Structure 1
Amino acid sequence: MDTNVQSFAVANLRRRPVVVETGGFVAGFDPGTTSPYVNYATPLPGAEPTRQDVAALIGAFRTRRLKPRLEFAPDAAPAVEAALRTAGFSTEAVHEYLVCTPETLTMPRNDGADAILVESPCSDEDYAAVDAALSEAFSGEFEPSSEGAARLRRTQENGGAVRFVRAPDGGCAGGATCSPPAVGTAELAGVGTRPAFRGRGVAAAVTAALTEAMFARRARSVWLEYSGEGSRRVYERIGYRPRGTRRYMSLEAAACKTS
């Protein structure tokens, strides 16, 4: 499964507005943001980069004044981590990922007076509300913006999906996104619920709805990363199971100048 997830990472980055492929790496850039979580690279499965390959990759980030950063499944490219460390890269985090298939998907019970209505955004106001809710849910890791709302709309319009639960005030209580499927799988990301609405089943409802939507589009699996044991339990109840890890590595400015 690591190779499948890594092949997806490559295909997904190739969808970015600007793509640079060099020395066994694919880097995807979005000129609308400097976020390192949008602008990053990943290796091709089985890549064995040389020192020159890594230097060329660093150069692709330097010319755009961006932090060199990669996300990848290490088991799918075992030689990459050592090559990056030699160039000064360090590990930001290692996250376990979970995978759901049509056979394991278990839709949460959602009926009666407490039924949760999951919606697809239809208007600019809906996309802006989802962007703002996710910003709040992730404690301001990113600021809500028109560019963020536009990225959500592009996800929905380009074969992926955005789902949310509407708050009583007409805004968004919580939501999530899923990429368009590639190589038979899709990544579900950004599951977030505003603090005032947590503990009500919002995350489970939007995750299940997105997963079901991807299976309807013939994806053979959907995968995601989780942020804590509480969220892991939510995903496991829906049918997600552990399959592997993904490593995040970056090159800080001081190391970049001397590499």
Structure 2
Amino acid sequence: MDLRIQRSVVSHLRTRPKVIEIGPFVAGLDPDTESPFINYASPQPGVPITAADVTALISAFTEAGRKPRLEYVTSCTPELESLLVTAGFTVEQRNQYLVCPSDGLTASPVPEGLVLAEPMTDPDRAAVVAAQNEAFGDLPDQQPEAAVARMRRSQERGGVVLGARTEDGEWVGGGQAAPPGDGVSEVAGIAVREPFRRRGLGAAISAGVTRRLFDRGVEIAWLEASGDDSWRVYERVGYVPAGHRLYISREL
């Protein structure tokens, strides 16, 4: 499972507007944002990595004006963390990811008075982005127009975006999934505005995004939980703990 997830991460990075391949690394960059959560690299599994490769990776990020940063499944390149720490990188986070196979999803009802829908126009995409940003709490480097463009590109490439709205059209939450690679897709950005929480909407969005992936032929959906509450939500709809991922970066 770890190997398959790591391959999907690398495949997703190759869909970014600017892709740089540095030895064993693939870096996906977006000229419209400096966010390190969008501009990062990941190693190709099974390819040997040297200190010189890490130095070249730092240089590539520096030349692009982006913070050197990686996300990857740790078991696929167990030697990499030591090389990165020696080169001045600092661990940001260690996460356990969860997976849901196509036969493991549990449906979750949509709360009364709300509907789930895929935003198909830029104004609707912008409203979903605004709801997510509000729910996540004014994250740094928020650029709504760039986020809308990324959302549109993702949908055009087979990714899923699902929003939640009231019957009178107010968007109150949403979530998405990356364009699939090798039958695998990452679910992310599950968010619900404060007044609409604790009604099961997060679970409904999570299940809805995942169901749409499976309906399009995806075999495995995966995600990471931001805390105990979201972990419980994801487990209720069929996600189970799997491997571990590392977030690690270096200041410019």
TM-score between both structures, scaled by the size of structure 1: 0.93
Residues 54 and 87, structure 1, Cα contact 8 Å, conserved in 2:
yes
Secondary structure of residue in 2 paired with 1:10: helix
Count, aligned residues: 251
Deviation, structure 1 residue 117? 1.5
Alignment pair present for 1:71 and 2:79: no
Rounded to whole Å, the distance in 2 between the matches of 1:224 and 1:57 is 26
Rounded to whole Å, the distance in 2 between the matches of 1:192 and 1:107 is 18
Residues 192 and 201, structure 2, Cα contact 8 Å, conserved in 1:
yes
Secondary structure of residue in 2 paired with 1:117: strand
Structure 2 counterpart of 1:118: 116
Residues 105 and 238, structure 1, Cα contact 8 Å, conserved in 2:
yes
Amino acid at match of 1:109: P
Residues 164 and 173, structure 1, Cα contact 8 Å, conserved in 2:
yes
- Of 230-239 and 168-177, deviating more is 168-177
Structure 2 counterpart of 1:256: none
Rounded to whole Å, the distance in 2 between the matches of 1:223 and 1:208 is 12
Rounded to whole Å, the distance in 2 between the matches of 1:169 and 1:144 is 27
Equivalence map 1:1-259=2 (5 Å): 1-110=1-110, 114=112, 116-142=114-140, 143-167=142-166, 170-253=169-252
Deviation, structure 1 residue 115? 6.1
Deviation, structure 1 residue 146? 1.1
Residues 132 and 144, structure 1, Cα contact 8 Å, conserved in 2:
no
Q: Unpaired runs of 5+ in structure 1?
A: 254-259
Residues 27 and 39, structure 1, Cα contact 8 Å, conserved in 2:
yes
Deviation, structure 1 residue 175? 0.3
Residues 22 and 56, structure 1, Cα contact 8 Å, conserved in 2:
yes
Residues 113 and 167, structure 2, Cα contact 8 Å, conserved in 1:
no
The CA RMSD over aligned residues, in Å, is: 1.4
Deviation, structure 1 residue 79? 1.4
Cα deviation code 1:132-190 (max 9, x no counterpart)? 11111111114252111111111112100100111466331110010111012100001
Rounded to whole Å, the distance in 1 between the matches of 2:83 and 2:132 is 35
Cα deviation code 1:93-131 (max 9, x no counterpart)? 0111100012211101348xx264210002221111011
Rounded to whole Å, the distance in 1 between the matches of 2:89 and 2:163 is 37
Rounded to whole Å, the distance in 2 between the matches of 1:141 and 1:245 is 25
Residues 70 and 248, structure 1, Cα contact 8 Å, conserved in 2:
yes
Secondary structure of residue in 2 paired with 1:100: strand
Secondary structure of residue in 1 paired with 2:64: coil
Rounded to whole Å, the distance in 1 between the matches of 2:168 and 2:115 is 15
Deviation, structure 1 residue 191? 0.6
Rounded to whole Å, the distance in 2 between the matches of 1:239 and 1:67 is 35
Q: Unpaired runs of 5+ in structure 2?
A: none
Rounded to whole Å, the distance in 1 between the matches of 2:189 and 2:198 is 17
Give the ranges of 4+ consecutive aligned residues of structure 1 lying more than 4 Å apart after TM superposition.
none
Amino acid at match of 1:99: V
Rounded to whole Å, the distance in 1 between the matches of 2:131 and 2:205 is 14
Rounded to whole Å, the distance in 1 between the matches of 2:62 and 2:229 is 38
Rounded to whole Å, the distance in 1 between the matches of 2:46 and 2:78 is 7
Rounded to whole Å, the distance in 2 between the matches of 1:140 and 1:47 is 38
Residues 121 and 164, structure 1, Cα contact 8 Å, conserved in 2:
yes
